Amino acid sequence: MQRSTPLRMTVAAVMTVGGLAFLQPASAQAAPGDRQAAFTAAAQAYDVPESVLLGVSYLESRWDANAGRPSNSAGFGPMHLTDAAALSDTNHHTDGEEDPRGDTNRPLALPEQTPAPVEIPTSLRTLEKAAELTGASREELRADPAVNIRGGAALLADYQRQLGAPLSTDPAEWYGAVARYSGAAESDAAKFFADEVYDTIKSGAERVTDDGQKVGLKPVPGLKKIEKWLEKLGLQRPRRDGVECPPTISCEWIPALYQSLPGGGYGNYDLSNRPVNQKIEYIIIHDMEGYFGPSVDLVQNPARAASWHYSLRSSDGHVAQHIKAKDVAWQAGNWYINAKSIGLEHEGFLGEGGAWYTEAMYRTSAKLVRYLARQHDVPLDRAHILGHDNVPGTIPSTVSGMHEDPGPFWDWAHYFHLLGKPLHSSGGPKAESVMILPDYARNQPYYYGCDRKNPSADCPPHGSASVWLRTEPRSDAPLVKDVGKHPTGDSLYSVYDHSARATTGQRYAVADRQGDWTAIWYLGQKAWFHNPASQPTAVPSRGLVVTPKPGLASVPVYGRAYPEAEAYPAGVPYQEITPLQYTFAAGQRYTLGLAAQGEYYRAVTFDASPHTVVRGKLKYYQIQFGHRVMFVKADDVVVSTA
C-alpha cells in the first residue's frame, strides 16, 4: 500500500574532501578504500593504462558507485558491469492509462499482446565474465567499488588479448579494447564510445563522486589512437538511410512501420510535412521504462499504436531513428504537443531497478538534441526541452493518467551543461521569479516505490533533480495537493508521483519568502520548499510572468492551444477548447515560457492527402503552472517582467 508521508528522512553525513563539502548517503558511508587508489591498483594488476581505465569508467558512470544499485541498463558500479539478472521486460507505452496519441478525437484501444521472449546479449552479462576473470563473487562485483574496478580492468585486458593487441603502457594501443567494452554490435557505436573515452583522457577530468571520493584523470595532450584495432572487432555496419543525426554520434535507421490495419485503423504514426506546415516547438525527453531491444521491437509493431522518433541505448549511447522529423510520432499523450515535437526515448527506468543513466547516453542525447534544436530553431531551455512528465493532460479526464518519465533521477543540470547551455542564476536575491537548481549529488529527497516487487519500500538515497513542495514553510508540513492527479487524496512521496515536486530548470514566480524557505505559485496555491542560502535549491531567474487581467477573479488553464471554432473549415470537426480542472486567482503569477497561436493538425487517416492544419486568431501563452506546463489565453492575462 502506498503511503503519503515518509517513515524516515534521508540519513546523510556531511564530509569535506578537497575543500568541498558534500552529503554522503548513509548507504555509502562505510564504503572502504580510496577510489583513486583502486583505479591505480587495478590498472597495475591487469597491465591496463590507468588513464584508459579511468576514461572508460568516466564514460560509463562518471566514477560513481551509485550505492551498489544497477543502472538503467543493468550495469553495476564505476565500471558498469552488467548483470542480466537485473533485467525487466516492461515498457511505459504498454503500461498505464495514457493514450500516446493524446487525441480525444480518436480514443486508443490497445490490443492484448504477449511480448516475445528476448535473448539476452553478452553485452548485458559482463559481470558474469568479470567474476570468472577475477575470482570475485557477483555480490562483491556489484557492491564493492574497488572489486568492481578490478573486474573492469580484467575485462579490458581480456579484450586486448583477444584482439592480439599488446598489453602496452601506451593508451593508443587500447583503442580496440575500449571500443569492445562498449558492448556495441555496431561499428559506429563502438567507435563513438571509444572516441568519447579518448576525448576524456585527452582533456582530463576531476570530480567528487556520489559517495565522496575525489577522483582525477590528468590530461594526456597529444593522445593518439590506433584505429586498426577497431577494424579487427568485425562489427556490423548499421543501416543509415539518411538518418537525421549529427555525424559525431552512432545512429542507424530502424523504421517504425506505417501500415493500414483492419477496420480502417492504422499505425504507427502520422505523416506530415514539418516544418513547412507546422513549426517544431518541443523536444520531449522520455525513458523507456524498459530496455532497448524490446522497445525498438515495439515501435516497429503498428498494432501497438505508439511511436517516437529516436531510441537511445544506455550502454554506449547508440541511437536508432524510427520516424523522420517531418512526421508526427504518437509519444507524449497530448496531440497538440505531439504535432509540434520530436520524441526521444532513453533506455532505462525512472525508479525501478536503478536510479542512474550512463554518461555515454547523456552525451549522445545532448549531441542529438543540440543538432535537432539547431535544425528546427528550438530554444534550449526548459520551456521547450520537456520531460514527458512536463507534458499536460489534454482534458480533465486525461490528467491523472499522464506519464511521469524521465523522473526525478534524470540529471537536468548535467544534461544542459552537455547541451552547451548550463543553467545559471540571473537577477538579484530579491528576484520575483526563481529557477529550480539544486546540487544534484547533495540533493537527496526521500522517495519510496523504486522496487515494484515491494512498492512501499523506501528508495535508497540518491541524488535528485527535484524538490518537495509543502503547504507551509516547515519540513513536516503536508505536501501541496494536485486536484488533477489526486482529485480526492493527498500527493505521495512515491518516485512515480510528481504532483508536489518542482524540478531543475523549471522557472516559477515567487509567492513568498520566510527565512530559509521560498514559496512559489504552483497549481493555484503557495508551495513552499527549503532554499537556504548556504545550500540553495533555487536561484534568481529573470523573465516574463503572467497574471490575470484586472477585473478577472481567476483564469482557466488548458492542456492544449487549439483554435477558435470559426477557424475550422468545412469537413474538419471543431475541437472543443476545454479548460482543465485548475484555475489561478487574481494576485497569482506564473512564468511565461512561449507564445502560441491556436493550432490543430487534423490527421486521422492513413492517406495523408486530407490532412489539414487549422490555424486561428486565438493566442495562448505557455506557463509553468505546476510540474507540467499548461496554457492560458492571452486575452485573459497581463504580461510583465519579473
d(CA 560, CA 286): 20
d(CA 530, CA 281): 33
* Residue 154: φ, ψ to 5°: -65, -40
Q: Which residues contact 19 (CB under 8 A, 6 or more apart)?
A: none
The pLDDT, as a whole number, for residue 86 is 62
d(CA 370, CA 449): 33
The pLDDT, as a whole number, for residue 87 is 59
d(CA 335, CA 614): 14
Dump strand ranges (E) for 155-245. 205-208, 214-217
- Indicate the DSSP class of residue 236: B
Q: What is the mean pLDDT of the chain?
A: 90
Centre a 10 Å sphere on the Cβ of residue 167 and count the other Cβ atoms it contains: 15
d(CA 265, CA 263): 6
Centre a 10 Å sphere on the Cβ of residue 111 and count the other Cβ atoms it contains: 9
d(CA 253, CA 238): 8
- Indicate the DSSP class of residue 624: E
Q: Hey, what's the cell of 523?
A: 497549481
> Computed from CA positions of residues 320, 288, 415, 482, in that sequence, does the dihedral angle turn out positive or negative?
positive
d(CA 543, CA 642): 6
Mean pLDDT of the region 579-589: 96
CA distance readout (Å), 28 to 68, 106, 212, 522, 590 = 9, 50, 9, 35, 40
What digits encode the pLDDT tens for the residues 43-68? 999 999 999 999 999 999 999 999 88
Centre a 10 Å sphere on the Cβ of residue 470 and count the other Cβ atoms it contains: 22
Amino acid letter, 316: D
CB 375 within 8 A of CB 325: yes
The residues of the chain that CATH labels 1.10.530.10 are 31-83+125-231
Mean pLDDT of the region 187-201: 96
What digits encode the pLDDT tens for the residues 299-328? 888 777 889 999 999 889 999 999 999 999
d(CA 126, CA 118): 18
The pLDDT, as a whole number, for residue 509 is 98
Mean pLDDT of the region 513-539: 97
d(CA 224, CA 217): 17
Q: Which of 591, 592, 564, 593 minimizes the C-alpha distance to 576?
A: 564
Mean pLDDT of the region 567-593: 97
Helices (H), ranges, 81-164: 126-134, 138-143, 145-163
Name the least confident of 11-25, 478-492, 503-517, 532-546: 11-25
Amino acid letter, 463: G
pLDDT of 193 strictly over 70: yes
d(CA 274, CA 376): 9
pLDDT of 218 strictly over 60: yes
Q: How confident is the model at residue 106 (pLDDT cuts 50, 70, 90)?
A: confident
Q: Which SS3 state, helix, strand or coil, does residue 159 take? A: helix
Please count the CA atoms within 13 angstroms of the CA of 289 that sit on its side-chain side.
17
* Rg of the chain on CA atoms, in Å: 25
CB 52 within 8 A of CB 201: yes
* Listed ranges 103-112, 444-453, 522-531; the one with the highest mean pLDDT: 522-531
**pTM, to two decimals:** 0.91
Q: Which of 637, 560, 623 minimizes the C-alpha distance to 102?
A: 560
Q: Which CATH architecture has domain 241-422?
A: 3-Layer(aba) Sandwich (3.40)
> Residues, the chain, total?
642
- Indicate the DSSP class of residue 28: G
> Which DSSP string corresponds to 517-575?
EEEEEETTEEEEEE--TTS-SEEE---EEEEEPTT-SEEEEESS-PPPGGGPPTTSPPP
pLDDT of 352 strictly over 90: no
d(CA 139, CA 126): 14
Angle between helices 145-163 and 35-46 (to 10 degrees): 30
What digits encode the pLDDT tens for the residues 519-529? 999 999 999 99
Q: How confident is the model at residue 289 (pLDDT cuts 50, 70, 90)?
A: confident
Q: Which SS3 state, helix, strand or coil, does residue 512 take? A: strand
Start-to-end C-alpha separation, the chain? 43
SS3 content of the chain, % helix, strand, coil (to 5): 25, 25, 50
Q: Which residue has the higher pLDDT, 237 or 245?
A: 245
Amino acid letter, 146: A
The pLDDT, as a whole number, for residue 362 is 96
Q: Hey, what's the cell of 456?
A: 512501499
d(CA 420, CA 422): 6
Q: How confident is the model at residue 626 (pLDDT cuts 50, 70, 90)?
A: very high
The residues of the chain that CATH labels 3.40.80.10 are 241-422
CB 89 within 8 A of CB 352: no
d(CA 518, CA 472): 10
CATH number of 31-83+125-231: 1.10.530.10
The pLDDT, as a whole number, for residue 31 is 41
Q: How confident is the model at residue 515 (pLDDT cuts 50, 70, 90)?
A: very high
Mean pLDDT of the region 257-281: 92
The pLDDT, as a whole number, for residue 18 is 29
Please count the CA atoms within 13 angstroms of the CA of 95 that sit on its side-chain side.
12
* Listed ranges 13-22, 110-119, 227-236; the one with the highest mean pLDDT: 227-236
Q: How confident is the model at residue 373 (pLDDT cuts 50, 70, 90)?
A: very high
Q: Which SS3 state, helix, strand or coil, does residue 218 take? A: coil
Amino acid letter, 206: E
pLDDT of 252 strictly over 70: yes
Q: How confident is the model at residue 90 (pLDDT cuts 50, 70, 90)?
A: low
Q: Hey, what's the cell of 467?
A: 524538490
Cis peptide leading into residue 268 (ω within 30°): yes
